[in-house]
Amino acid sequence: MATKRDYYEILGLNRDASAEDIKKAFKKLAMKYHPDRNPDNPKAEENFKEAKEAYEILSEPQKKAAYDQYGHAGVDQSMGGGAGFQGGFSDFGDAFGDIFGDIFGGGRSGGSGRSNVYRGADLRYNLEISLEEAAQGTEKKIRIPVLTQCKTCSGSGAKKGTQPSTCGTCGGHGQVRMQQGFFSVQQTCPKCQGSGKVINDPCNDCSGQGRVKESKTLSVKIPAGVDEGDRIRLSNEGEAGVNGGPSGDLYVVVSLKKHSIFERDGANLHCEMPISFSIAALGGEIEIPTLNGNAKMKIPPETQTGATFRLKGKGVKPVRENYIGDLMCHVVVETPVKLTERQKEILTELEDLNQVDSGKHSPRSKSWLDKVKDFFD
């Protein structure tokens, strides 16, 4: 039979090591060799079991004393030893529970189980506003359903004049320990659902929940420049906490209504600018709307569809920026409709004149026709 290694050597300790030193050494090795951290390393699993066995012996005073005096023979049941093997497993479970917390981010809160005080849930409210309201800022009143602390029982859940009692299943810890092989696992107490308390005589108004559903009206200040998807946080306006815990927050998420003229792109605004056939050809001055009233714009002669004109400073000032965006006007030359006979005669005459030297009056059309010709040739 293979000779077992010295337990102190396995943990890297001297024989005068304290109980705290033994616990720390095991936690360090358990985190290093835990099978969940080394799924494809059989050697790591062997090292983990070896460290676990060493800790089981050295962390329990009776077994440690027997091992210090007689070595492995003093604690090996197969050799008639092991006087201290009845019980004493709780220390290992405590240390292993701490190690689970270190490895997986869980663990217990405090020395006697997890905390029974919980922060309330955060809430979200979708608020739709107009582009003008977003650009200039506004104030809105909203009404939201929310869980608030029951005033009758002050959040305890117990009927007025009574108090919740300590849970007999978990002893008020909110958790129970279950042993599976050499693993010791903590689970939420099925009796009290983790609260550590049992309500024998529940409050009539909240049915023992400690919170009731209500609707409340809040005033929300919308800062100038907010954009689609921006969030406004209202601290402590979420759901009430449990057992005196703090309330959550309310997040108001902004969305913008579709505007009849403008489209927003960050700080800039975009709009289509339809102009008549004659203004596009001859040029002229037109009036266009902005968020701050009308503005005049000069259209140069021979303007084509798709041309873009910029009005500086006629956009939106974002919340966190120090500049104002621009208004981008995209030209659309409008074809006249419902023509009179006289209008048709004038356009026909114009088209006849254009045909005399089409390349001069319609350069893009001539270029396109040339490309078509080259394609077929």
Per-residue pLDDT tens listing for the chain (377 residues): 456 788 888 999 888 888 888 988 898 888 888 877 787 788 888 888 888 888 988 888 888 888 887 777 777 654 444 443 333 334 444 445 444 444 443 444 333 444 567 788 899 999 999 999 999 999 999 999 888 888 888 888 888 888 888 888 888 787 887 766 556 677 788 878 777 788 888 888 888 888 888 899 999 999 999 999 999 999 999 988 877 788 899 999 999 999 999 999 999 999 999 999 889 989 999 999 999 899 999 999 989 999 999 999 999 999 989 999 999 999 999 988 898 999 889 888 888 887 766 556 666 666 666 666 666 76
Distance, CA of 267 to CA of 284 (rounded, Å): 29
CATH architecture, domain defined by 259-335: Sandwich (2.60)
The whole-model pTM stands at 0.57
- Give the Cα separation of 137 and 291 in Å (integer): 13
- The three-state secondary structure class of 286 is strand
Angle between the N-to-C axes of helices 90-104 and 42-58, in degrees from 0 to 180, rounded to the nearest 10 = 140
Reply yes or no on domain 115-151+209-258 having CATH 3.40.50.620: no
Superfamily of domain 7-104: DnaJ domain (1.10.287.110)
CA 115 to chain centroid, in Å, comes to 24
- The domains of the chain are located at 7-104, 115-151+209-258, 259-335, 344-377
- Whether residue 317 contacts residue 259, with contact meaning beta carbons closer than 8 Å, is answered with no
Whether 259-335 and 115-151+209-258 are alike in CATH topology: the answer is yes
CA 345, 348, 353, 356 torsion-angle sign: negative
User: Closest by alpha carbon to 197, among 220, 170, 222?
Assistant: 170
Q: Residue 348: phi, psi to the nearest 5?
A: -65, -40
Is 91:63 a contact under the CB 8 Å cutoff? no
326 vs 133: CA distance, rounded Å: 18
Long-range contact set of residues 28-37: C-beta below 8 Å, sequence gap at least 24: 30/96, 30/99, 31/99, 31/102, 31/103, 34/99, 34/103, 36/103, 37/103
